[in-house]
């Protein structure tokens, strides 16, 4: 399978191959997703937003731990799948799924207690705009967790630069800080873990 085709599916999964990619990414990203969710320090009353939920790996654990979960994804196929898979949660008023972009979040200010996003920052057109929007929709004292592979590792994969924008950890930390977040830190389960989860509070 051509690297460019894979890159396009990772950025915006659709069709049969998009479903396959979402399944494979669920397996590949399981540890990073689980660790990122733990950093949110979820409470039963929380309203949580997951940006770029893809194959929906973290959605069951988020729904089990919180009062309300909203999923936002660029892929209409992913949104359609989530609405079907979690229809009971939607009907009971505990979940919502929408198509959209992080740079223009379709939510009112101060809507969420927690926001989680994993392996999406490579596709944002602007870190500053994305984190500014996340800051806007978070409630005061809200918390964010952002998981990603750092630039030095992503660059080795040779992904097309017009689809993937690799991100250095300090670049992500700087954009989060500029957006107004505080207590910003880079968390890893072990010192040699190849990926990062940046955690911050509003």
Spatial distance between the Cα atoms of 106 and 98, rounded to a whole number of angstroms: 8
Return the exposure string of 113-146: e unless at least 16 CB atoms fall within 10 Å of the residue's CB, then b. bbbbbbbbbbbbeebebbbbbbbbbbeeebbbbb
Query: What pLDDT, on the 0 to 100 scale, is given for residue 3?
Result: 54
Spatial distance between the Cα atoms of 6 and 66, rounded to a whole number of angstroms: 34
Higher pLDDT, 159 or 107: 107
- Please check whether residue 145 is in contact with residue 39, taking contact to mean a CB–CB distance below 8 angstroms: yes
Task: Find the CATH number of the domain harbouring 89.
Answer: 3.40.50.150
Query: What pLDDT, on the 0 to 100 scale, is given for residue 160?
Result: 66
Query: What pLDDT, on the 0 to 100 scale, is given for residue 20?
Result: 53
Has residue 6 got a pLDDT over 70? no
Higher pLDDT, 97 or 20: 97
Could you report the per-residue pLDDT of 166-186, keeping only the tens digit for each?
Answer: 999 999 999 999 999 999 999
Spatial distance between the Cα atoms of 146 and 113, rounded to a whole number of angstroms: 15
- Please check whether residue 127 is in contact with residue 178, taking contact to mean a CB–CB distance below 8 angstroms: no
Could you report the per-residue pLDDT of 87-132, keeping only the tens digit for each?
Answer: 999 999 999 999 999 999 999 999 999 999 999 999 999 999 999 9
Query: What pLDDT, on the 0 to 100 scale, is given for residue 2?
Result: 47
Spatial distance between the Cα atoms of 112 and 110, rounded to a whole number of angstroms: 6
In this structure, of 48-57, 116-125, 152-161, the range with the lowest mean pLDDT score is 152-161
- Please check whether residue 80 is in contact with residue 52, taking contact to mean a CB–CB distance below 8 angstroms: no
Spatial distance between the Cα atoms of 121 and 132, rounded to a whole number of angstroms: 13
Residue with tokens 């509003």: 202
pTM, 2 dp: 0.86
Query: What pLDDT, on the 0 to 100 scale, is given for residue 163?
Result: 75
Q: What is the domain range of residue 103?
A: 3-201
Q: Average pLDDT, whole number, for the chain?
A: 89
Has residue 18 got a pLDDT over 70? no
Strand (E) or helix (H) holding 161: none
What is the phi/psi pair of residue 18, to 5°? -65, -40
Higher pLDDT, 202 or 54: 202
Number of domains in the chain: 1
**CA–CA–CA angle 146, 111, 185 (5° rounding):** 25
């Amino acid at each position: 399978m051509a690297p460019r085709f894979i890159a396009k599916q990772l950025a915006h999964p659709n069709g049969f191959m998009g479903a396959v990619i979402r399944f494979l990414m669920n397996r590949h990203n399981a540890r990073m997703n689980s660790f990122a969710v733990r950093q949110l320090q979820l409470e039963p009353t929380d309203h949580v937003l997951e940006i770029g939920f893809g194959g929906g790996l973290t959605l069951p654990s988020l729904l089990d731990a919180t009062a309300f979960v909203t999923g936002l994804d660029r892929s209409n196929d992913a949104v359609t799948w989530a609405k079907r898979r979690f229809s009971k949660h939607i009907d009971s008023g505990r979940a919502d799924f929408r198509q959209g972009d992080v740079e223009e979040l379709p939510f009112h200010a101060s809507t969420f207690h927690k926001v989680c996003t994993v392996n999406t920052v490579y596709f944002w057109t602007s870190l500053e705009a994305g984190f500014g929007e996340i800051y806007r929709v978070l409630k005061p004292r809200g918390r964010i967790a952002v998981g990603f592979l750092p630039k030095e590792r992503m660059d080795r994969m040779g992904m097309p630069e017009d689809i993937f924008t690799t991100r250095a950890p300090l670049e992500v930390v700087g954009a989060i800080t500029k957006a107004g977040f505080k207590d910003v830190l880079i968390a890893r389960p072990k010192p040699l873990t190849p990926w990062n989860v940046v955690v911050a509070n509003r």
